[in-house]
Structure 1
Amino acid sequence: MMIPVKLLKKMGLYDVKIHGTSVKVRVVDHQDLISLGLSELRSEVTTPTVVGLVVKESIMLKLCVGNRCLVILMNRLGSTSIPQCLKNFLEDQEICFVGVNLISGVYTLRENWRIECKSSVEAQELAARVLKKPDLSAGLATLAAEVGIAWEASKYLPSFSWGALVFSDEQIKYVVEDVYASFLIGTKLLGKL
């Protein structure tokens, strides 16, 4: 069973509040919608070009620019149906992809989907380098505080499934908080250079 793409474009849209800021989220599970989502992200890109990036196992790819996030349900796409526009975006070396657990995330992109994301950096490493704090070892909330962003993550959702197809607003907020924080931290840090 397949829903027509023109109807799918109207589904999977969320507007959630994260620390008082409205964040627009598009969740896609169809290769034809990835191009639309990437166009929306590109419209938010400024200089320096920072994109929040988090890969959740081989299930979900999360991208964030400004107040817009794109969540791609990779487990719903086959490895052969990854569109070239996504590969081109993630392989763009003019973009600094900032995130958490990127070593395993970049490995997953390469091994599962043959995507080489060469210009990515852990938020923690970027903060240590820019702030010249070699011993900086912290989670997102601490990193955010280091760069002057008040941040507190949502509480864990016990009934949450990363492999779901449909999410509530509360679940989407939980899904995108880390990638949104990664974008904010990366932007703040690279703005100091």
Structure 2
Amino acid sequence: MADTKHRALHHAASHPDLEEVLFTEDEIKQRVHALAGEIKQVYGPGEFTLVSLINGAVMFTADLMREIDNPVRLDCIRVKSYGTGTRSEGTPQVVASLTLDVANRDVLIIDDILDTGKTLALVCDLACKLKPASLRTCVLLDKKARREVRFEADFVGFEIPNKFVVGYGLDFAERYRNLPCIGVLKKELQTAPAP
């Protein structure tokens, strides 16, 4: 019990703008390592193409790649959905698409968070039209309470409650991406700051 109390205090002290820390840097590292193992079991030793949804999945993708010794290719897609708010804004839009040819190749799409499901559904639909040999998805966080379309990721790091989280690539108005942990942003800070 004392250890749990100490841990909670340690978590809260990580950053003054966080209400609580859901996952520490060490917990994220351990889960990313385990996820890489799950991915390698599916793909075996073969080559596959990683497609990272930026900016949010940059840190997660980089750490995951370092845990995988398969030959991998990397491409990125930029999708706009949040803007400066805390809720997804209507229909996501692809701002920058793939540059690599993924036809007849195994493709793994990587995102930071799966909430409404709209963004990943859009990106998977786009990728399917390019006729990959296989298409799977990997997300660091799964917020099932926010789902608006039927979508489940093939690989999931952590399931989280319906709270607005930042850190480890996740942002609020382009801030907090650099935090090494993932935490809940204090409610009073969940309003768009001046540009």
TM-score, normalised with respect to structure 1? 0.29
TM-score, normalised with respect to structure 2? 0.28
The structure with more radius of gyration: 2
Specify which structure has the higher proportion of helix: 1
Specify which structure has the higher proportion of strand: 2
